[in-house]
Structure 1
Amino acid sequence: MDFGNESLDIDEPDFLEYSDWYIDDGLDPTSPPADVTSCDPTIPVDLYHMCAAGASFAVLVFLSFLVKRRRLCKGCCGGAPGLLHPVGFLECDYHRGIAAAVFGVLFCSLCMVVLDDNPLPFITKSPQETKEYWKITALLYYPVLYYPLLACATVKGKLGYLPGSLLSWLHFSILLCQKVECPLSPKLYKYYSLLRSLPQLLCLAFLSLVYPLLLVRSGKTSRNLPWHRCPANKYYTDYLKILLRKKPPRNSVSTGQLSLWPRIKTLMRSYIYVPMEGFRIPTSLVVSMTVAIVSIYQFALLLVVYVVPTLQKMRAGIQEQISYTLEGFGVNLSENRSEVINIVKYYIWTVEVCYVSAVSVSCFFTLSTLMRSMVLHRDNLQALHRGDTQKVCNQKRYIRPSQSAIVCWMSFTSYQAAFVCLGLLIQQLVFFICFLLFAFLVVVPILYGQKLIIFRVLENMWPFWLTLILVVLIQNLTARLLFLQKDGKQLSITNRRSLYIFTYLLFTYNVLIGVIAGVWRVVFTALYNIVHFCRLDLGLINRGAEFLDPGYRCYSNFLEVEASQSHPVMKAFCFLLLKSQSSGRSCNDRGKSVEEGIQLVPDQKCTKMTKSKRALARWCLTYTLLNNPSLVNCRRSTVCSPTNIITNGELKSSSKLSTNIFVKSELREKS
């Protein structure tokens, strides 16, 4: 038999019809829509960036010559020019809204650098070999481009607010015109470019409104200007006054006596950050929370745009041939071909609903955990201000800056954004799998009455599950009614012989219950860590091994730097010293004023102060300085050092007023 020359008897049209199922038509599921055409805005992107980069450089040079560093060339133009710092992260007299808005714009630019084919707008159609190098260069270009938007706020005057207004208007107007002229984009989804630019437009619109408002109000003085910066000395002294004033007595009501509605209100308040009188959240935390919210929006938009249009195209492209494909794999949904098409479309729609629901639930959990972390940030900072390091660091130690602490402080905002994106991705995958299992194992079988696999398993194992439930109920009822006896307000164990018998007889059942509890422990621990993955203030491992968690280690070191370098009590004390030295009183009067804390008393009446009030003011000031993390090193190493205290029978050049107070606090601590 000649099999080599044997030809197959196949009808040519039918063969071509069935062979088309397995031919790749070359259509990419993420290819650009057919109705999207290339659009060229009036102001091209490269021209806009050339103008914006030139304007930013000119403004930066102008501000550098305006605010001079008076260290070099003192006889030439009043000093050498110096580069302005973008924002005082450790200070409280800078506009935190401007810093948060600029960082939001910067993160949106990072998303463009990672996803776009041309990371640098000046260079188009770059070869694949050099694209990664241009991306690395773009990661530095965008921070330099938006640097003057922050530097204009540090000048704190009309000469800084005017170029800031012009720059913000330039960026916002040109970007808005580009998106209005060309809202569609061939990248991923036709409206993806417009949706991705919404946070950037909002931040730039905020800057274009705030800078003119600051320019108008720069010559006015008001106590409560919502858009204006808060004077640092006023904030620190007000904080100290509120800290030292007499607290009203609290009604001690236990949480167990509260009804359901007060418990719900308490739970809601624990997730909502309410501003506290006399306390301002640090600038770095405000910036990190803003960047985290922007990152949630950008990453969730990317997840939806990358998958949902593909599922919609698949659902719209389902034809009758899908029934033959399913029969080839042994899957027979129905005898009617049109019904098979409807079932497959319904299944794809179910997958789409599960995916969108998973993204929505992930965003909700991420936002709620970030809101909760804001409340705990304030509690942890206040604990470190009191000197309670065990609440954050799990051990008693001095809070002082170190190399690792400074590195963690610099990278805290970046870590927060990265952890939010990664946590959102993990949550979305886990919730998507859970929703799919629930939909195709519970909901769809109930609707169609087929493939009731999970119900058949439960039906066959119902005696086993019923037995375990009865064992758990028996143990709880006997423990409550038979083995516990109430003597007054205390509970004691009784009927010990019966307790020993039940413990022995139920041993085997408890082993099976322990297996189920172990599985639940693994599942619950995984879900808990996945939901709280984006929270850096919460260690995801045991308290004894928290130093192995890079996120929590970064957070604890960040708080150490904040507490040691921007302690409100320390800053208030420094301002009081500077104020006393600048006044025209004698040295003894200045020392007496600072030591006795006259500025901390609301009514500053030095002449009518009694000895008891003077002693109380001394004690309060000493108490606030005793556990101050910023001054612990000064008390021990600097003040108490013989080389720094006594030189030829006199105090060395350190501040005598500070030394006097620190020595008194040391004596009180030892006594």
Structure 2
Amino acid sequence: MASRSEFDGVDYMDYPDWYIDEPTDPPRDVVTPCQPTIRVDSYHICAAGISFVVLVFLSFFVKRRRLCRSFCNAVPGLLHPVGFLEHDYHRGIAAAVFGVLFCSLCVVVLDDHPLPFITESTKETAEYWKSMALLYYPALYYPLLACATVKSKVGYLLGSFLSWLHCGVLVWQKVECPLSSKFYKYYSLLRSSPQLLCLAFLSLVYPVLLVRNVETSGNLSLRQCLADNYYTDYLKILLRKKPSRNSASTEQPSLSSRIGTLIRSYIYLPVEGFRIPTKLVVSLTVAIISVYQVALLLVVHVVPTLQKMRDGVREEISYVLEGFGINLSENRTEVLHIVKYYFWIIEVCYVSAVGVSCFVTLSTLMRSMVLHRGNLQALHRGDAQKVFNCKKRIRPSRSAVVCWMRFTSYQIAHVCLGLLIQQLVFLTCFLLFAVLIVVPIIYKQNMIIFKIVEDVWPFWLTLILVMLIQHILARLLFLQKDGKHLSITNRRSLYIFTYLLFTFNVLIGVIAGVWRVVFTALYNIVHFCRLDLGLINRGVELFDPGYHNYINFLVVEVSQSHPVMKAFCFLLLHSRGSEMSSSDEGKNVEEGRILLVPSQKFTKTARSKQARTRWWLMFTLLNNPSLISSRRSTVCSPTDAVTNGELNCSSKHSKDELDKSDLCETE
């Protein structure tokens, strides 16, 4: 054995691996940097140039005279991406492009290099590059929408080329480099899945539209019919004779029918003659993508960390717990298993909370789509009282236009924030339930909650009995049935029990107050992502920015894209051509064209049908919110009261007053 003097003068710090006996395992999940054949910066430089060339070509291809005859002497101009207030644009393309744009927003927010052209940036300049990236990605995907706006073979051909370019390059990059070192090795691939699906959808839709355009290019009337048939179909269904309701069913619905009605109220099913606006379709699509992106980020950012912590627990954890006064067991091995078991419980509760949050958010979004349809149908009828709970003129304003512009963005932001809040609340509830109830029942240890309940059960039993006694007395002693109505009797006994049970009702009121706070918080958290629902009292619900944005969005949608108004204008534009052409006589039997050909002779049945149709059309146009702003002052407003079938119009005797204000004012 070597003596101590042999090691004198030796610097022990020269041996970095002094404990050579312990095996050093290489770290897992280490991803080596990968550079695809088509570099990201080179691809974006080429794609941005191609997109700019395509947009300029489309601007010169589509003459400005076709869009606005009196603007800049008919010079070419920038094409609008999609007609949000029209129903003759492809809503699937708009939803897919907005989905791709939101995935790009996730890249801008989370990546260290948000602008693909700039690969090296400091912390001081990173925020400036993020601001530029927020404008770059919308400009990059702008031509994908503009190609659909043109509605021609050239536009669909260029749209096919751009969608194939973006989709092909993205697939090539993910196949070559599927792993990433950010959060989780497969996070980049999973994050790009919605973007790949949207680009694949565009790659299929544009060729289909190109083939259809080639087939219908020689038939102009067919193309016009495909563009305007929604409005005419809506008018026909609206003027259709409703079935008479002679007798109403007095039978109570069964439990199964109630459950079926509840489930159907959360499932949006298309109905005949109504089409959801484009902006709502885009909002729902991007909201679903945002749920996926946020849930993916929550899972890959926390679950792998919990798994590493569980695998890294050693027997020395018992000393750490004893330092905090926690003694789980005398056996260190048993303590190790208990700690790992609790880590597993946390992981299960976390994943369950994320899953429940996603389910609740998607359910509320589907429920909101059903209510969107109901609100739009009510406003199309002019029933603003049902939607807004107050008398409100449906006219566009500055704030309404601003709210309409940012409605989709507000919806996505509320969905992301609501999902995060729900996840935290559900995780807390699941952990408390698992740690305080489930685990003590399984191991029959640390039964703190059960001991508390055992100590205070007489108090809770007393409160429950008091509540039951009050309900039994109210049913058997204090109420008496006189015919079909109930009346209060035995008032002296009622006064006596009210006085005697006062102290118990105070305690019950405290419990009810706590439940009110908990229920209100849970209700608002669950419905946080719904903009169509005010989360505060009706008197001050306009202070809710989400609900305020929603009602202004409805005002713009109804006032600018009312299907009855557009159907009426479409019939007026085509009435002259139908009168002059003899080949269209067979089409004049339609209800809309009967209104525009008064010189023909009809039978008694046809005349009654014409009178009924004219009356319905007059009533519909009178209550059309889209025509209120352009109506002459001699026509009453649809919001006026109706008495005995006559509109109450206040007459003005001065001609100057007629020019300044309407004859019918809304109270």
TM-score category by the smaller chain?
0.7 to 0.9
| Aligned: 1:145 with 2:162 | no
Q: Within 2, Cα distance between the matches of 1:527 and 1:170? A: 46
Q: Select 2:601's aligned residue among 596, 599, 607.
A: 607
2:480 is paired with a residue whose SS is strand
Q: Within 2, Cα distance between the matches of 1:449 and 1:229? A: 75
Following TM superposition, by how much is the alpha carbon of 1:667 offset from its aligned partner in structure 2, in angstroms?
A: 11
1:485 is paired with a residue whose SS is strand
Contact 1:244 1:620 in 2 (8 A): yes
Q: Within 2, Cα distance between the matches of 1:117 and 1:157? A: 41
Counterpart of 2:563 in structure 1 is: 568
Q: Within 2, Cα distance between the matches of 1:605 and 1:197? A: 63
Letter in structure 1 aligned against 2:180: S
Give matches, 1:231-380, under 5 Å: 231-250=226-245, 257-380=252-375
| Aligned: 1:620 with 2:616 | yes
Q: Within 1, Cα distance between the matches of 2:593 and 2:27? A: 68
CA deviation string 1:334-391 (max 9, x = no partner): 1111111110000111111111111111101000000000000000001111111122
Counterpart of 1:180 in structure 2 is: 175
Change (3 A) 1:393 1:640: closer
Counterpart of 1:6 in structure 2 is: none
Identity %: 75
Counterpart of 1:36 in structure 2 is: 31
Counterpart of 2:449 in structure 1 is: 454
Following TM superposition, by how much is the alpha carbon of 1:72 offset from its aligned partner in structure 2, in angstroms?
A: 12
Counterpart of 1:396 in structure 2 is: 391
| Aligned: 1:127 with 2:122 | yes
Q: Within 1, Cα distance between the matches of 2:303 and 2:202? A: 34
Q: Within 2, Cα distance between the matches of 1:470 and 1:51? A: 77
1:130 is paired with a residue whose SS is helix
Runs of 4+ with deviation above 6 angstroms: 71-75, 600-605, 638-641, 666-670
Q: Select 1:434's aligned residue among 422, 429, 433.
A: 429
Q: TM-score, length-normalised on structure 1?
A: 0.85
Q: Within 2, Cα distance between the matches of 1:631 and 1:96? A: 26
Letter in structure 1 aligned against 2:631: R
Across the aligned residues of Structure 1 and Structure 2, the Cα RMSD in angstroms comes to 3.1
Q: Within 2, Cα distance between the matches of 1:173 and 1:483? A: 77
Contact 1:484 1:494 in 2 (8 A): yes
Q: Within 2, Cα distance between the matches of 1:293 and 1:72? A: 34
Letter in structure 2 aligned against 1:634: S
Change (3 A) 1:335 1:542: same
Counterpart of 1:55 in structure 2 is: 50
Counterpart of 1:192 in structure 2 is: 187
Q: Within 2, Cα distance between the matches of 1:362 and 1:251? A: 46
Q: Select 1:631's aligned residue among 617, 627, 648.
A: 627
Residue segments in structure 1 that go unaligned for 5+ positions in a row: 1-12, 14-19, 21-30, 223-227, 587-592, 642-665
Letter in structure 2 aligned against 1:612: S
Give matches, 1:484-503, under 5 Å: 484-503=479-498
Q: Within 1, Cα distance between the matches of 2:225 and 2:467? A: 60
Residue segments in structure 2 that go unaligned for 5+ positions in a row: 1-11, 13-18, 20-25, 218-222, 582-587, 638-661
1:231 is paired with a residue whose SS is helix
2:326 is paired with a residue whose SS is coil
Change (3 A) 1:180 1:341: same
Q: TM-score, length-normalised on structure 2?
A: 0.86
Q: Within 2, Cα distance between the matches of 1:419 and 1:612? A: 52
Following TM superposition, by how much is the alpha carbon of 1:237 offset from its aligned partner in structure 2, in angstroms?
A: 1.0
Counterpart of 1:464 in structure 2 is: 459
Change (3 A) 1:601 1:57: same
Counterpart of 2:537 in structure 1 is: 542
1:220 is paired with a residue whose SS is helix
Give matches, 1:86-165, under 5 Å: 86-165=81-160
2:214 is paired with a residue whose SS is coil
2:123 is paired with a residue whose SS is coil
Change (3 A) 1:72 1:538: closer
Letter in structure 1 aligned against 2:168: S
Q: Within 1, Cα distance between the matches of 2:237 and 2:27? A: 60
Q: Within 1, Cα distance between the matches of 2:500 and 2:429? A: 37
| Aligned: 1:504 with 2:468 | no
More displaced 10-residue stretch of structure 1: 231-240 or 113-122: 231-240
Counterpart of 1:578 in structure 2 is: 573
1:90 is paired with a residue whose SS is coil
Change (3 A) 1:292 1:600: farther
Q: Select 1:443's aligned residue among 430, 438, 445.
A: 438
1:382 is paired with a residue whose SS is helix
Letter in structure 2 aligned against 1:120: L
Q: Within 2, Cα distance between the matches of 1:190 and 1:455? A: 44
Aligned residues: 606
Following TM superposition, by how much is the alpha carbon of 1:597 offset from its aligned partner in structure 2, in angstroms?
A: 5.9
Q: Select 1:216's aligned residue among 203, 208, 211.
A: 211
Letter in structure 2 aligned against 1:440: V
More displaced 10-residue stretch of structure 1: 431-440 or 255-264: 255-264
